[in-house]
Structure formats: C-alpha cells, structure tokens
Amino acid sequence: MSSLDAIDRQLLAILQADVSLSIEELAERVGLTKTPCWRRVQKLEKSGIIRRKVALLNAEILGLPVSVFAQVKTDQHTAEWADAFAAHIAKLPEVVDCYRMAGDYDYLLRIVVSDIAAYDRFYKELIRHVGISDIVSNFAMEQIKSTTELPIPSGEKE
C-alpha cells in the first residue's frame, strides 16, 4: 500500500463511490489528463487493488429483503473438510459473504433470501450437504449501514 500516492488514493475513493465515471471525468477530478489517469487505473487493476468492477443491486427491489447471519460450528477440522465446505458454499447464490472465524463459531455466513420459508429451505439443504455440529441463525431487523467502500489509508504511518 505504501506505493500508492495521493492521486492513486483519490482515484480509489472516487471509483469506489462511482465506477461508472469515464476516464475523462476521473482525470478531471484528480487533476490529470486522460492517458496518465487511464494508466494509473490500469496499474491499480493489474496490481489487484481493484479486484473487479460491479453493479451493486438493491436486494429489496429484487425480492430478497431478508438477511440472515448464520454462525456455523463444525467438529470436523481437517483441510479436506474445510476445502469441501468452501467449495459447497461457493456454489450457493444465497450466501453473499462467508468468513472463517476465530472464536466460538468456525464460520459466519451472510445469506439473503426472499422470506423465512426460503431460509428454512436453504437451511435444510445446507445441513444435509455439509457436516456441521451447530448453526445459529440471526435475522437482521434493520440495515443501519452497508457499504462496499473501504477506508483508503492516508499513506502516512499512524
């Protein structure tokens, strides 16, 4: 991250907020001409800092208003099981986030579904196909904050 200068950090902040901007608009906002701006964006993509460019969809309008946070515990702690679990989870479109955790539970999943009945179907399929010893499901009542924008470090040591 130390190789990023102030312009790179500005570009990242702007792109996180609106990736649909043209190179001309980006260049104008950061005080560059089109070609150097384009080169910087290409460099950020090639370095892996920009992983991909996507459209963020509205889950409620799509009929997926229910977010469930499921804490999963397993008693199988082999590399083979973990790989099989990850491969199975990757195939489930309802799972939009999956983290391997330290603490009381081994995994935390964020699942989006249309309603409680859809989650019940998902739950039954999940426990049928993966060896888990416990699962705790928490239903979100209200989304207070949700963002894909990461805080861009200033580049200075803090």
Q: How many domains does the chain have?
A: 2
pLDDT of 132: 87
Q: From CA 104, how far away is CA 27, in angstroms rounded? A: 48
- Domain-located, residue 58: no
- Domain-located, residue 101: yes
Q: Domain of residue 33: give its range.
A: 6-46
Which residues, 6+ apart, have CB-to-CB distance to 116 below 8 Å?
66, 139
pLDDT of 9: 96
pLDDT per residue over 28-83, tens digit each? 999 999 999 999 999 999 999 999 999 999 999 999 999 999 999 999 889 999 99
Do 78 and 31 sit in the same domain of this protein?
Answer: no
Do 82 and 20 sit in the same domain of this protein?
Answer: no
Residue 158 scores a pLDDT above 80 = no
**Residue 22 sits in a domain of what CATH number?**
1.10.10.10
pLDDT band of residue 128 (cuts 50, 70, 90) is confident
Per the CB < 8 A criterion, the answer to whether 119 and 101 are in contact is no
Do 42 and 84 sit in the same domain of this protein?
Answer: no
Give the mean pLDDT of the chain: 94
**Integer angstrom CA distances of residue 150 from 13, 50, 52, 77, 146:** 8, 11, 14, 32, 11
- Domain-located, residue 1: no
- Domain-located, residue 135: yes
pLDDT per residue over 113-124, tens digit each? 999 999 999 999
Q: From CA 11, how far away is CA 29, in angstroms rounded? A: 9
Do 100 and 132 sit in the same domain of this protein?
Answer: yes
- Domain-located, residue 36: yes
